[in-house]
Amino acid sequence: MADSPYPELKKTHTMARVGRPWTDVKPAPSAPVWNVIFGLGAYWMLVGAIEIGLFDALWDRGPLGPDELANDLESSASHVESLADALVVLGLLDRHDGRFDLNDCSRRYLCGQSPAPMADLVSVAPGPEENWTDLAATIRRGEPAKPVDADVAGFWVPLVEGTFGTVLRAATRADAWISYSHLEAPRVADLGAGGAPWSIAVLRACPGATAVVNDLPEVLEVARARLAEAGVEDRCELRPGDYHTVALEDEAFDLVALGHVCRTEGADGTRALLGRAAAALRPGGRVLVSDYFRAEDPSRSPQGVFMAATMAACTVRGTAFSYDEMSSWLRDSGLSEVRLIEPIAAQQIFVATKPASTQGRKEER
Ligand X SMILES: C[S@@+](CC[C@H](N)C(=O)[O-])C[C@H]1O[C@@H](n2cnc3c(N)ncnc32)[C@H](O)[C@@H]1O
Identify whether the C-beta of residue 249 lies closer than 8 Å to the C-beta of residue 280. Answer: yes
Closer by beta carbon to ligand X, 163 or else 301: 163
**Count of CA atoms in the C-beta half-sphere (13 A) of 304:** 20
Residue 93 forms beta bridges with which residues? 102
- What whole-number distance in Å separates Cα of residue 227 and Cα of residue 363? 40
User: Contacting ligand X (CB under 6 A), which of 45, 73, 110, 167?
Assistant: 167
Binding mask 93-132 for ligand X (x = CB under 6 A): ----------------------------------------
User: Contacting ligand X (CB under 6 A), which of 59, 100, 156, 253?
Assistant: 156
Span from 43-51, 67-75, 99-107, 152-160 in contact with ligand X (CB under 6 A): 152-160
The closest of 335, 178, 164 to 260, measured between CA atoms, is 164
Asked if 280 interacts with ligand X (CB under 6 A), we say no
Closer by beta carbon to ligand X, 85 or else 221: 221
Closer by beta carbon to ligand X, 106 or else 347: 347
Asked if 216 interacts with ligand X (CB under 6 A), we say yes
Binding mask 284-313 for ligand X (x = CB under 6 A): ------x-----------------------
Q: How far is the CB of 281 from ligand X (least distance, A)?
A: 17
CB 195: neighbour CB atoms within 10 A? Answer: 30
Closer by beta carbon to ligand X, 100 or else 180: 180
Q: How far is the CB of 294 from ligand X (least distance, A)?
A: 17
Q: How far is the CB of 192 from ligand X (least distance, A)?
A: 3
Closer by beta carbon to ligand X, 64 or else 219: 219
Asked if 219 interacts with ligand X (CB under 6 A), we say yes
Binding to ligand X (CB under 6 A): which residues in 231-270?
Answer: 242-243, 259-261
Binding to ligand X (CB under 6 A): which residues in 181-210?
Answer: 192-194, 197
Task: Give the chain as a 3 state SS string.
Answer: CCCCCCCCHHHHCCHHHHCCCCCCCCCCCCHHHHHHHHHHHHHHHHHHHHHHCHHHHHHHHCCECHHHHHHHHCCCHHHHHHHHHHHHHCCCEEEECCEEEECHHHHHHCCCCCCCCCHHHHHHCCCCHHHHHCHHHHHHHCCCCCCCCCCHHHHHHHHHHHHHHHHHHHHHHCHHHHCHHHCCCCEEEEECCCCCHHHHHHHHHCCCCEEEEEECHHHHHHHHHHHHHCCCHHHEEEEECCCCCCCCCCCCEEEEEEECCHHHCHHHHHHHHHHHHHHHEEEEEEEEEEECCECCCHHHCHHHHHHHHHHHHHCCCCCCCEHHHHHHHHHHCCCEEEEEEEEECCEEEEEEECCCCHHHHHHHC
Asked if 163 interacts with ligand X (CB under 6 A), we say yes
Task: Give 155-168 as a 3 state SS string.
Answer: HHHHHHHHHHHHHH
Q: How far is the CB of 175 from ligand X (least distance, A)?
A: 16
Closer by beta carbon to ligand X, 222 or else 281: 222
Q: How far is the CB of 73 from ligand X (least distance, A)?
A: 32
Q: How many residues bind ligand X (CB under 6 A)?
A: 19
Closer by beta carbon to ligand X, 70 or else 288: 288
Asked if 321 interacts with ligand X (CB under 6 A), we say no
Span from 88-96, 160-168, 203-211, 331-339 in contact with ligand X (CB under 6 A): 160-168
User: Contacting ligand X (CB under 6 A), which of 160, 201, 313, 330?
Assistant: 160
Residue type (1 letter), 91: G
Q: How far is the CB of 157 from ligand X (least distance, A)?
A: 8
Contact residues: ligand X, CB under 6 A: 156, 159-160, 163, 167, 192-194, 197, 214-216, 219, 242-243, 259-261, 290
